[in-house]
Amino acid sequence: MDAPETRIEIADERLIPLLREGAVLECLWTGATWCEGPVYLPDGRLVWSDIPGNRLLVWQEGEAVREYLEPSHFQNGHVLDAGGRIVGCSHGERAIVRQEHDGSWKVLVGEYQGKRLNSPNDVVVAKGGSIWFTDPPYGLIQPHEGYGGTQEQPGQEVYRFDPDTGDIRVLVRGMICPNGLAFSPDETVLYVGDTAGTHTGERYWPEAHHHIMAYDLVNGEATNARLFAEVSPGFPDGFRVDVYGNVWTSSGSGVQVYAPDRTRLGEISVPEVIGNLTFGGPNGTTLFIVASSSLYRMEVNVRGATA
Ligand code: MG
């Protein structure tokens, strides 16, 4: 693939200090079907999902990209926990899984109230160790992204799971298609994307949502639901929050950046539809972007709030 053009739209000057002067967008690798779920490991590796390829891939500077796990059972989103273990969303196993220090993968939770989960999509770990994840049905309704099956849960919820006690509860009920999620740096706000618009025409969901909702987290409950951002074109499939609380989200045209006050600060153009992104690199200021078939990176001036 030719080197992508570096194109940045500054909609608000607050974006300027977040960007690295002279930085260019690089395409590091191409060859997947649909990329998602990037997680940066402290040793310099970047692991991510090729969901329809039923595999995880791994990139490292100076090394050839190779498979990290195959079959991956259609894993989607990933995050690191405080122990340095990868926590993942498995469409195929309809579960939250974790890679143990011996390399094996363990199912942490696959049911709520005696019924199987739909197909966990994206995941974050709170500072206290609880695992929060979204559970839309993409892995059930898209034959190339899972093993199929019947939806058992009455809805598509956002859950909090405590890996120490096994307690699982619904934090946000009634979203149509919850997808990406992230905390504000102080964990007082939870952001959740709703991407119902991906399948509006074919079936399912009359509301063509492509937005990020925000919730205040008070005494363990998510309250004060409000619209945070309408992402267009495309969808807030995955996003990360930087240390200042800005939200860097996927879209159909690039990485869009939103200030905590909801102002759209601008966009870094990416030539393919983005699935997800994460901060990483030796200084934590490398933005890794997984977009359709490819892995991109660009240096910025800010670190992510979490892995
Ligand atoms: Mg997603």
CATH number at residue 123: 2.120.10.30
* Ligand 1 mean position, distance from CA 113 (Å): 24
Residue 115: exposure state from Cβ atoms within 10 A (0-12, 13-18, ≥19): exposed
Q: Is residue 304 part of a domain?
A: no
Mean pLDDT across 16-25? 97
* Residue 218 phi, psi dihedral angles, 5° rounding: -130, 120
For the segment 118-130, the average pLDDT, to the nearest whole number, is 97
For ligand 1, the distance from its centroid to the CA atom of residue 252, given in whole angstroms, is 13
- Which residues are close to ligand 1, an ion, with C-beta < 5 A? 121-122, 179, 237-238
Give pLDDT tens digits for 239-289.
999 999 999 999 999 999 999 999 999 999 999 999 999 999 999 999 999
Centroid of ligand 1 to alpha carbon of 22 (angstroms): 30
Closest by CA position to 138, among listed 171, 175, 179, 173: 179
**How far, in Å, from the CA of 237 to the mean position of ligand 1?**
4
- pLDDT value, residue 50: 98
Query: Quick check: 1 pLDDT over 90?
Result: no
Q: What does the pLDDT average to over 70-97?
A: 97
pLDDT band, residue 2 (cuts 50/70/90): low
d(CA 124, CA 287) in angstroms, rounded, equals: 18
Distance 152 CA to ligand 1 centre (A): 20
User: Is 3 part of a structural domain of the chain?
Assistant: no
35 alpha carbon – ligand 1 mean position (Å): 10
pLDDT at 201 over 70: no
Residue 159 corresponds to which amino acid?
Answer: Y
Compute the distance from residue 167 Cα to the ligand 1 centre, in Å.
24
For residue 231, tell me if it sits in a domain.
yes
Task: Please report whether residue 293 resides in a domain.
Answer: yes
> How many C-beta atoms surround the C-beta of residue 173 within 10 A?
11
Q: Which amino acid is present at 134?
A: T
Cα of 66 from ligand 1 centre, angstroms = 22
Question: Contact, 76 vs 55, CB < 8 A?
Answer: no
**Residue-level pLDDT at 208:** 83
Per-residue pLDDT of 129-172, as tens digits, reads: 999 999 999 999 888 999 999 999 999 999 999 999 999 999 99
On whether residue 306 sits in a domain, the answer given is no
- Residue 237 predicted with pLDDT over 80: yes
Cα separation, 242 vs 257, whole angstroms: 10
Q: Answer for the pair 267, 9: CB distance below 8 angstroms, yes or no.
A: yes
What spacing in Å lies between the alpha carbon of 193 and ligand 1's midpoint?
9
Spacing, Cα 77 to ligand 1 middle (Å): 6
Return the pLDDT at 204. 63
Of 179, 247, 186, 242, the closest CA to residue 218 belongs to: 186
If you measure from the C-alpha of residue 182 to the centroid of ligand 1, how many angstroms do you get, rounded to a whole number?
12
Which residues 6+ apart lie within 8 Å of 22 measured at CB?
A: none
Domain membership flag for residue 168: yes
Q: What percent of the chain has pLDDT over 90?
A: 90
The model's pTM is 0.96
Which pLDDT does position 307 carry in this prediction?
57
Check residue 97 and give its pLDDT: 98
Domain range enclosing 23: 8-299
Q: What is the mean pLDDT of the chain?
A: 95
The size of the chain, in residues, is 307
**Ligand 1 centre distance from Cα of residue 301 (Å):** 25
Partner residues linked to 80 by β-bridges: 86
One-letter amino acid of 257:
V
Omega before 233 cis (within 30°)? yes
Task: State whether residue 141 is helix, strand or coil.
Answer: helix
- Kindly state whether residue 235 falls inside one of the protein's structural domains: yes
Number of domains observed in the structure of the chain = 1
- Nearest-5° angle of CA 124, CA 129, CA 131? 35
Please report whether residue 44 resides in a domain.
Answer: yes
What is the band of 238 on the pLDDT scale with cuts at 50, 70, 90? very high
